[in-house]
Structures are given as C-alpha cells and as structure tokens.
Amino acid sequence: MTDLAIIGGTGLNKLEGINIIKRRVVRTPFGEPSGPLTYGEYNGREIVFLPRHGTGHTIPPHKINYRANIWTLKDIGIKQVISIAAVGGINPHLPPARLAVPDQIIDYTWGRENTFYEGGAGKVIHIDFSYPYNENLRQRIITAAKSAGIGIFEGGTYGATQGPRLETAAEIDRMETDGCDMVGMTGMPEAALAREMELAYATCAVVANHAAGRGNSKEEISMKNIELYLHQGMQQVRTILIKILSD
Ligand code: HPA
C-alpha cells in the first residue's frame, strides 16, 4: 500500500508513464472530491493521483472541494502529498516554465471552506502553521530535480489568490511588497487542511506566465503562452515524479 499521493494541477490531469492499476470513486463527510482516485504504479511503487480541477479540468479554483480531497487522502492511508501547481512568476528569477518549491505562503483567498475544525460539538483547534510546507518532502523534490539535472528555485513565498480571474498589475505590485515570489489560486486552503490532517505536504510549482504587469505579461497575459510554458514545465515535473518513485 502506498503512502504517497500527487494532487495534479492545471496541465497535469493525468500521469503519463505510470501504469494505472485502478480508479476509485469515493465520498466523504464533506462531499465528493474533485474526481476518482487513480491508483498507479511505477517501478514497483504505488502512487495515488487526484486531479485537483477534475478529470476534464472543469472545477475552478474557488469551487474545488479542498476538504473532500484532503479528507479522502487521509482516509485511504496517505501520509505524504506532493501538490503540483501552476503559478505566475513575480520574482524575476521565476520566468515562465521554471519550477519552484515554495517554503512560505500568504493567503489572500476568502470564503472558502478552510478548516475541518468548525467548532460546534468539536474542540477549538489552532494548528501551528509557521512553516506551512513539510521540509523533508520539499528536500525530496529538490534532490530529485537536481539529480535529473532540472533547475529548480529552492524556496519562495506562494501568494494564494481567490481567482478565477488573474490579478491586476497593481495587485501584483502589492503582493511583491508583501514578499510574494509567485502567485497561484489553489495553494490555500489545501496546505492548511493537509496540516490539520497531519499529512506531510509540499508543492512543486510550475511558472506558467510572468505575473500581471511583469515581463511579457506587461500588456496582457497570453493564454496561448500559458499553455506552451505549462506544457514545458510539466514535462520536467513528470521527470521529477518518476525520479522520486525510482528512489
Ligand atoms: N495568477 C494566479 N494564478 C496563476 C497565474 C497567475 O498569474 N498563473 C497560473 N496560475
């Protein structure tokens, strides 16, 4: 039985190169996860894959049932979750198609179901979230990238925005002043829910575009370019995942 799950983001709805063993439709007390759990195998190691936006990429960031996704992974015995996430690059060292393993988060989202601890009959619980990502898992991603010869930005602050629209240039300026290196729409509450469930969680981010008002996004953000860069970045993510499974 595996203890490793991958939550795939935009550009990674399935895992090529990994043999599919079975698919399971599941339900949780919080409703349905984004899609069926896909059990795969590579080199004798089992892995579970869950596409964050649904199999056909139909669920926008603010409608994802983050609680059901994390709950179901915990429920089947997962201990470690690698999240793959497309981001916009704010830091000039994060141009399109570059990979990053963030070590901090600033949460700008609102109105999302962001805890399993709703009070009521249960206790009031405040998890420690000083360091939102699991350091061992971050290092595993970094080591795998390095040994595959893939350049990766080792750290950075992930700013989680509400979406589904992209940001204004002024919002990105403010996020940079706040200390954000990259911007995405799905990092929260996913990371916090994983911590509540005591899952080791880390993100491998793929820069899909310069954030609004930066680089070649100065005039506008081109969807065509996003697809192109994501495709390039996700090829590298696949190589890293296969490397992790081979170790
Ligand atoms: N902003 C927010 N989320 C994103 C972006 C962006 O520029 N690119 C990919 N996901």
Per-residue pLDDT tens over the stretch 22-63? 999 999 999 999 999 999 988 888 999 999 999 888 999 999
pLDDT band at residue 129, thresholds of 50, 70 and 90? Answer: very high
Strands 45-51 and 99-100: unpaired
The confidence score (pLDDT) of residue 24 equals 92
pLDDT band at residue 185, thresholds of 50, 70 and 90? Answer: very high
Considering the chain, what is the average pLDDT of its residues? Answer: 94
Question: Which atom of ligand 1 is closest in space to residue 167's alpha carbon?
Answer: 1
Question: Which atom of ligand 1 is closest in space to residue 209's alpha carbon?
Answer: 8
Contacts (Cβ under 8 Å, ≥6 apart) of 181? 89, 90, 91, 93, 94, 100, 102, 153, 155, 156, 157, 158
**42 Cα–ligand 1 center, Å:** 31
Helices marked H in 160-222 = 169-178, 187-196
What DSSP assignment string belongs to 25-38? ---BTTB--SS-EE
Q: Any idea which residue has 């690059």 for tokens?
A: 89
Q: Ranked by mean pLDDT, which of 17-21, 71-75, 232-236 comes out on top?
A: 71-75
Whether residue 18 has pLDDT greater than 90:
no
**89 Cα–ligand 1 center, Å:** 8
What DSSP assignment string belongs to 74-108? HHTT--EEEEEEEEEE-STT--TT-EE---EEEE-
d(CA 22, CA 13): 16
Per-residue pLDDT tens over the stretch 161-181? 999 999 999 999 999 999 999
Per-residue pLDDT tens over the stretch 63-84? 999 999 999 999 999 999 999 9
The confidence score (pLDDT) of residue 47 equals 92
Pocket of ligand 1 (CB under 6 A): 86-88, 161, 166-167, 183-185, 208-209, 211
Q: What are phi and psi of 66, to 5 degrees?
A: -60, -35
* Probe residue for ligand 1, chosen from 12, 166, 172, 232 as the CB with the greatest number of ligand atoms within 8 Å: 166
The confidence score (pLDDT) of residue 25 equals 93
Is 69 strand, coil or helix?
helix
Whether residue 120 has pLDDT greater than 80:
no
**159 Cα–ligand 1 center, Å:** 10
**117 Cα–ligand 1 center, Å:** 29
CATH architecture of the domain 4-246 equals: 3-Layer(aba) Sandwich (3.40)
The confidence score (pLDDT) of residue 17 equals 75
β-sheet bridge partners, residue 48: 5, 39
Specify the higher pLDDT residue, 228 or 12: 228
* Probe residue for ligand 1, chosen from 167, 174, 204, 214 as the CB with the greatest number of ligand atoms within 8 Å: 167
d(CA 228, CA 57): 17
Per-residue pLDDT tens over the stretch 76-118? 999 999 999 999 999 999 999 999 999 999 999 999 999 999 8
Average pLDDT over residues 194-210: 97
Contacts (Cβ under 8 Å, ≥6 apart) of 49? 5, 6, 8, 14, 15, 18, 37, 38, 39, 40
Whether residue 1 has pLDDT greater than 70:
no
Q: What is the pTM of this model?
A: 0.96
Rg (CA), the chain: 17
* Probe residue for ligand 1, chosen from 62, 83, 91, 185 as the CB with the greatest number of ligand atoms within 8 Å: 185
Say if residues 28 and 75 touch (Cβ distance below 8 Å). yes
- Nearest residue (CA) to ligand 1, atom 2: 184
**166 Cα–ligand 1 center, Å:** 6
